[in-house]
Amino acid sequence: MALMDKIEDTCARFRAGEAEISRTFYSKPRPLEQHVLALRIQVAREVRNLREISLGELTEMVDRTDHGLPREDLVHELAEHYFEIRHYATLAYLLEGISGERVDWKELNVQRDTAEWTQYGRKERDCRAKWAKISPLHESAGSFNSGGAGSVAFGVIGLKGGDYEELLAEVGKIILHDEMAHGDVLGNRHPLYNLVKTDEDENKALEVIREYSTIRVHGRNYQYGNPLPKERIEAIAWGGIEPLDREALKMAYTGAMDEVEWFERYHAASKPLYSTTIKR
């Protein structure tokens, strides 16, 4: 087996696990508060790019362009911000649309460091900070599956029902497209591809990726009110699931609408959004 094959396969199985969680959650009606929690956690995860722009990181990159910063790096950074901010915008609207509560990204940014419901996100960040102090290999392995390739979004694509479900299904396509676009831009330029040179390197990276991805899958199950039993989560963590390959992910977002059409459909819908999967 070629180097990185085990890593790719492991990530593909964790992706399938995250997709199973969201798909299971939306397979039957559940209380409004569970939907609110799931969306609030996801929206909070999407505020990073807003925070970075607010702190001036993008301005700094612009000032460095033509003065040591390759122009393509700026283009790639702008594309990432565009993708991630439209995730925030669409998901925040959905949260407001089902709950009536006002979403404020600055409030969520504070809560992500203190609120009980952000515990798994903090665990992810703590682990990545820990690995960054060990070696470049550990640090790169810690970021390799950091976005899960949009696998939770994959789980809601094709969802039917009311305005909420149909808008959410379209957000799933948008997010999945964007997460896969991240990967295509980065491709084999992710540092891990150059750092894994031996079987020992691969095994060290796998250890990190499994630990990180196990935290992620437990966190995703918590986010959605634990729709999968503990035994199933443990089986997923050990690889007991068919892998979700990149081609299946790419096929799933075929026909994704752009955010302009999505915003128009959202604003035209009655509020609170009609839903068949929310118990009120």
What is the model's pLDDT at position 173? 96
| Per-residue model confidence as pLDDT tens digits over 157-170 | 999 999 999 999 99
Is residue 184 predicted with pLDDT exceeding 70?
Answer: no
Q: What is the pTM of this model?
A: 0.93
Chosen CATH of 5-271 out of 3.30.70, 1.20.910, 2.60.120, 1.10.10: 1.20.910
Question: Which amino acid, one-letter code, is at 235?
Answer: A
Confidence of residue 247 (pLDDT cuts 50, 70, 90): confident
Kindly indicate the confidence band of residue 252, based on its pLDDT and cuts at 50, 70 and 90: very high
Q: Give residue 148's pLDDT band: very low, low, confident or very high (50, 70, 90).
A: low
The string of DSSP letters for 170-203 reads: HHHHHHHHHHHHHHHHHGGGSHHHHH--SHHHHH
CA 54, chain centre distance (Å): 21
Spell out the domain ranges in the chain: 5-271
Look at residue 191 in the predicted model and tell me its pLDDT. 87
- Evaluated on CA atoms 244, 237, 11, 180, the torsion sign reads positive
* Greater pLDDT, 179 or 93: 93
Inter-CA distances, 139 with 75, 119, 135, 229, 238, Å: 24, 21, 6, 31, 22
High-pLDDT (> 90) share of the chain, %: 86
Strand 30-31, strand 278-279: pairing = parallel
- Quote the pLDDT of residue 183: 59
